[in-house]
Structure 1
Amino acid sequence: MKQALIIIDMQEIFFMGEENALYRRDALITHVEQWIEKARQKQVPIVFIQHTSYTAGEELYVDTPEWQICSRLSRTADDTVIRKTRWDAFYNTELLEWLDQHRIEQLIFAGAQTEFCMDTTIRAAYSLGYQANIVAADSHSTLDSNELTAQQIIQHHEHIWNGRFANLQSIDTAFPSA
């Protein structure tokens, strides 16, 4: 089954200061980078999804420092970057076309924020026929909300996703040794 690693909204806004600091952000970067390295070893294509605003003054306004993909992740010229303007990475983007062109059958998701763009995109992928997907273990995060801690949000969404919309897997399970 041909795979692609989809990294959602790993942008500088979450790593620049404390105001938008993701839960366990340093560990998140380490884990996502491990998935990137393993994907490269297995020749699995990598797609960075980049949330983009085209309205000056809004968060993640195009070409601002906080809009940039996290500089601590190793991105290469071979990686694909797809800009999105909504929580759903498929909505009005070229993601579905890219997946079709590359004959991708299984998506591996990592990134932020768990309850927003990750959740919306994972469910959209399932509805579009990608039904054997993987959520990269320890490789997505969010912020505390007024009602729940980030850890509670993550645990809740993993419980909902696992076995329904995607399977939570370790790197060794998703990329078994030959």
Structure 2
Amino acid sequence: MTKALIVIDVQESFRTRAEWADNSNPGLIGQVNRLVDLTRAENGLVVWVLHSEPGSGGPFDPASGHVRLIDGLSPAEGEPVLTKTAHNAFTTTNLQQTLTVRGVQEVLISGIRTEQCCETTARVGSDLGFGVTFVTDATATTPLRHWRTGAVMSTNDIIERTESVLAGRFASIATVDELTGSILTGS
């Protein structure tokens, strides 16, 4: 096994927030499931990651009941489900060890927030020596308000920025169609 799909923070916590109505990818669950099917068909590893903020009293506090995968996602037997407390999926989990022990050399990145936990995981994964493919249309984000000026960055601008800073530096950029087409054509 040399490939793994990392599904980051696709959890109910986000759906409790008002801004979720403006998320960039209403079809996220379908796109993630296509990648899950592809990864399993290629005998790759699917790793599920949840974000937790114990004691915060918010939607990421495990006591809220929202720190669970969004309905429609389902780990298969033996697929790791890790819980992190940092932005990237490596620092506060055993993700690196899990991947290394299984011989994983390449990772596909999907999940929620394109520019935050997904981008940060891609950067750290690259720094750790993994080949990284960032599957943008299997990520989602919401508009961001600048902390000082109040200007709002659109989801399209966030996605474009994320792809720009990752491509050729930390990751290759791909779409679900590009990846699923490669298994069908054998390329």
TM-score, length-normalised on structure 2?
A: 0.85
Residue by residue over 1:12-33, the C-alpha shift from the partner in whole angstroms, topping out at 9 and shown as x without a partner, is: 1223564434624421111111
Alignment of 1:1-178 (within 5 A): 2-16=2-16, 18-21=18-21, 23-130=23-130, 132-146=131-145, 147-171=152-176, 173-174=178-179, 176-177=182-183, 178=186
Amino acid corresponding to residue 87 of structure 2 in structure 1:
W
Contact 1:15 1:22 in 2 (8 A): no
Distance 1:87 1:22, change over 3 A: farther
Name which of structure 1's ranges 119-128 and 104-113 shifts more when overlaid on structure 2: 119-128
Larger-Rg structure: 2
Taking the aligned partners of 1:149 and 1:137, their CA distance within structure 2 comes to 15
Amino acid of the structure 2 residue aligned with 1:136: V
Summarize the Cα distance change of 1:129–1:22 in structure 2 as closer, same or farther, 3 Å threshold.
Answer: farther
The answer to whether the Cα contact below 8 Å between 1:36 and 1:74 also exists between their aligned partners in 2 is: no
Q: Hey, what does 2:149 align to over in structure 1?
A: none
Q: Distance in 1 between matches of 2:19 and 2:135?
A: 25
Contact 2:31 2:176 in 1 (8 A): no
Q: Which amino acid aligns with 2:159?
A: I
CA distance in 1, matches of 2:143, 2:124: 24
Query: Runs of 5+ in structure 1 lacking a partner?
Result: none
**Quick check: 56-65 or 89-98, which moved more?**
56-65
Aligned in 2, Cα 1:65/1:25: closer, same or farther, shift over 3 Å? Answer: farther
Sort the Cα spacing of 1:57 and 1:137 in 2 relative to 1 into closer, same or farther, 3 A. Answer: closer
CA distance in 1, matches of 2:172, 2:37: 21
- Alpha-carbon distance, 1:141 to partner: 1.3
CA contact (8 A) 1:14 1:21 kept: no
Q: Secondary structure at the match of 2:66?
A: helix
Residue identity over aligned pairs, in percent, reads 27
| RMSD, aligned α-carbons | 1.9
Please report how far the alpha carbon of residue 47 of structure 1 lies from its aligned counterpart in structure 2 after TM superposition. Answer: 0.3
Report if aligned partners of 1:22, 1:141 keep a CA contact under 8 Å in 2. no
Conserved in 2, the CA contact under 8 Å of 1:15 and 1:25?
Answer: no
